[in-house]
Structure 1
Amino acid sequence: MGKTYTSRLPDEMAKDIEEIVEIEKLDRSSIIRRLLDKGINQWKEEYALKLYQNKKISLGKAAEICSLSIWEFLDKLAEKKIPLNYDVDDLLDDIKTIEDLDKK
């Protein structure tokens, strides 16, 4: 099972949740879990994008934080107009790796 958390919500937020419950025809707990899941995923994406943009983490690590493939994360970078952290040294390293693989 999962862990139980309790939280006091502002009236407006509670009202919004009740409206969503009515629209979706689901129980309150399911709606809250869905909303938390979306919020957590959005936070992870923003966090990974910020770290990647500031050159604190690699492309692979950023994608991992978001639970996305590298290709999906590259799409996120393009959507946000964040440049790829890839320079000449990276290119030379990749060429060397390819050459080493070719020798095997």
Structure 2
Amino acid sequence: MQKIRSIRPTEEIERKLERLIGIEKTERSALIRRILDIGIEEELKKHALELFRDKKVSLAKAAEIADISVREMMDLVKDKDISLHISIEDIREDFEAAMKKRRAA
């Protein structure tokens, strides 16, 4: 069941939203949900990248936080020019996590 949330968009956001509705010929609420989903995904990726860059989480944990695959996380790390500081322990943890997922499938 979807919950109803109320927001107060600025005039600029409202203007941009109206422009997008006109371009995409889509329903307002569907467009807002899609934009919100994209924004949340991007914020999760940004947060995960920051944690990984600051060596607070492993690559696998960053991928989990961002809700993406380790391969996608590696691509993001590369795109952002973040050092891929991976230890033997990180590789072991990632391998064990992959094996656990494989057994569960």
How does the TM-score come out when normalised to structure 2? 0.81
Structure 2 Cα separation of the partners of residues 47 and 13 of structure 1: 24
Say which is worse superposed, 44-53 or 58-67, in terms of deviation. Answer: 58-67
**Equivalent residue, structure 2, for 1:24:** 24
**Equivalent residue, structure 2, for 1:86:** 86
In the alignment, is residue 8 of structure 1 matched against residue 8 of structure 2? yes
How does the TM-score come out when normalised to structure 1? 0.82
1:1-104 to 2 correspondence within 5 Å?
A: 1-87=1-87, 90=88, 94=92
* Percent sequence identity over aligned pairs: 38
User: What are the Cα deviations for residues 38-88 of structure 1, in whole angstroms up to 9, with x where unaligned?
Assistant: 11011000000000111111111110111111111101100000011224x
Deviation at 1:21, TM superposition (A): 0.7
Work out the number of aligned pairs and report it. Answer: 92
RMSD: 1.6
Q: Which runs of 5+ in 1 are unaligned?
A: 98-104
* Structure possessing the higher radius of gyration over alpha carbons: 1
Q: Which runs of 5+ in 2 are unaligned?
A: 96-105
- Identify the structure with bigger relative contact order (alpha carbons < 8 Å, sequence gap 6+): 2
Task: Point out 4+ residue stretches in structure 1 off by more than 6 angstroms.
Answer: none
**Residue type at the aligned position of 2:45:** E
| Partner secondary structure for residue 55 of structure 2 | coil
**Residue type at the aligned position of 1:83:** S
